[in-house]
Structure 1
């Protein structure tokens, strides 16, 4: 699975789900090739529907299919998915229908097309919707497992997927993806680096940098942002001196906000939220954007070290 890109892993998972379940259908907004939903279309052409560049229609048709007893998966770029948010709110979330939305090319994974194509608000917009489960896999291995696991979720789901670039991190972390479960990528007692999605690999690298400086850093990965694994979060929040959240998303309303909301009920803890505070930009690679927005392992380690010094 590591040899696949995230969008290819999502496409493969859909094709395999189609083999296992006859109620699975796929709806795309003229994005069958770019999302790799064509993998499903090649095996199950009678259950594949392209509605054209009409994301609102994609959402409405998917709602109708779900209401009729099917399990639709709707795919387009994560940024374009936001065009259909009102339809998703009113026709899917309010009725608690089992539509699975997969937004590809999320975050900085599409650097070449610039800020118009870089979804940095999608977690916030889907997290706020009642009944929704929100998932952000770290890499291709986790993307495949997550998409397969969505078939067992009741109600609507949003899965945030990258394009081609990923930092392999989860293939050996665990073998079975469980929706709503967080994972300990590294144990530690001084600071907890909590992350979701693509940033897991960089968080692990940051923990290595901190260990070389004598700082014990835990890395907690939360591929499911909603519902958040509050048991895991609470255990480490009580054990460490400080928490740093890292995400490839706006800091407002995203993963860091979800952690902060949980901490409000658990108890105060020094917290730094690392992410983005403005729109993206055109670049040659995702790595260039991570550097520009200060989301490198070195930046994460430095912020964690600074927070620990303040917490002492």
Structure 2
């Protein structure tokens, strides 16, 4: 069960959240092992080497090899967690994930950091607007986008209990709190955070906190919205989506990702296949590459600030 927090402040860095969660898991399961592609300083995974020196491997800047090593370790009985920046954890190693991971029925847990505008000064080469789209195309892969530190901590620990290929994306830096400490979730089940009779907003990742602010501002205009945190992009919670669509004037998806192939596409597919006649607005990135800038600048540049998204929603509602 989950509870929303009243503390909307920025929480601890998500990279620290992942490391702390892995340390907890490693303390309970001596088969869990961590691999990093020469980003231990950026990811803080070098902290794992201090507490579990025999269960941390820096494979160097060799991401495809990292996936292969992880698959081999799983065959030897280990449960591997791997990390690198989002584009290198997905786009660069897609064939290895497909063949050495999913096709071969191996377990590989992947943390892709700094998705979308969070790439910041690393620029277009390090920006991934397409990571979820790529992995959605692979059978049986589980894809999550954590909203805050509480949810990300839970996802990492839950992945450690599962078999198969699992991917979670998240900012390395801190994001606004959404959930109260101790909240629990269910893979493949969305979370209904707010109820309203007019429109349905489906969001995921760090933009969930922005969406809750938008819902408050829309309520001031007497526009009442449902808000779903669809933190599991695959498998999608079709049951909850179809249930909350009943009687709605429209549905809006919001994601720090391309509108092609991610959450917006997944929701559109469900609507179309069930013959539901409801207007849909996908808010995300439309056919653009990444660029250099601060995360704050990029969030504004790509139209994903609270103010810009609210304006786009108002135009859709009109």
The corresponding residue for 2:29 is: 21
Q: Who is 1:200 aligned against?
A: 208
What CA distance in whole angstroms lies between the structure 2 residues aligned with 1:228 and 1:162?
22
Please point out which of 12, 37, 51 is paired with 2:20.
12
Change (3 A) 1:24 1:2: farther
- RMSD (CA atoms): 1.7
Instruction: Report the Cα distance in structure 2 between the residues aligned to 1:256 and 1:291, rounded to whole angstroms.
Output: 20
Alpha-carbon shift at residue 58 of structure 1 (Å)? 0.1
Asked if the contact 1:136–1:225 (Cα under 8 Å) also holds between the matched residues in 2, the reply is: yes
- Alignment deviations for residues 21-50 of structure 1 (CA, whole Å, 9 cap, x no partner): 111011111122212222322221111111
Residue of 64, 71, 86 corresponding to 1:78: 86
**Counterpart in 2 of 1:160?**
169
Deviations 1:151-202 (A, max 9, x none): 2223110111112141221236x71122111111211110111101111011
- Alignment partner, residue 224 of structure 1: 232
| CA distance in 2 between partners of 1:213 and 1:168 (Å) | 25
- Name the structure 2 match of 1:38: 46
- Given candidates 248, 252, 255, the residue that maps to 2:260 is 252
For 2:49 and 2:23, the matched residues in 1 are separated by: 8
Q: Which of 278, 283, 293 matches 2:293?
A: 283
1:262: Cα distance to partner? 1.2
Q: TM-score with structure 1 length normalisation?
A: 0.94
Displacement of 1:106: 1.7
Shift of 1:113: 1.6
**Counterpart secondary structure, 2:269:** helix
Matches of 2:76 and 2:314, distance apart in 1:
54
Would you say the 8 A contact 2:12–2:174 is kept in 1?
no
Query: Quick check: 1:139–1:198 contact (8 Å CA) kept in 2?
Result: yes
Using the alignment, how far apart are the partners of 1:248 and 1:185 within structure 2? Answer: 19
Question: Structure 1 residues 236-245 or 297-306, which shifts more?
Answer: 297-306
Query: Which has the higher mean CA deviation after the structures are superposed, 70-79 or 292-301?
Result: 292-301
**Inter-partner Cα distance in structure 2 for 1:239 and 1:290:** 32
User: In structure 2, how many angstroms separate the alpha carbons of the residues matched to 1:177 and 1:302?
Assistant: 31
Aligned residues: 307
SS of 1:33 mapped into structure 2 = helix
Contact 1:17 1:24 in 2 (8 A): yes
Query: Runs of 4 or more off by more than 6 Å in structure 1?
Result: none
**Per-residue CA distance 1:189-223 (angstroms, 9 max, x = gap):** 10111101111011111111111111001111011
Cα 1:72/1:218, change in 2 over 3 Å: same
Quick one: distance in 2 between partners of 1:203 and 1:211? Answer: 12
The whole-number CA distance in structure 1 between the counterparts of 2:105 and 2:251 is: 34
Unaligned runs of 5+ in 2: 1-8
Question: Aligned residue for 2:58?
Answer: 50
User: Structure 2 vs 1, CA of residues 177 and 42 (structure 1 numbering), >3 Å: closer, same or farther?
Assistant: farther
Equivalent residue number for residue 175 of structure 1: 183
C-alpha deviation, 1:280, in angstroms: 1.8
Unaligned runs of 5+ in 1: none
Q: Does 1:128 align with 2:137?
A: yes
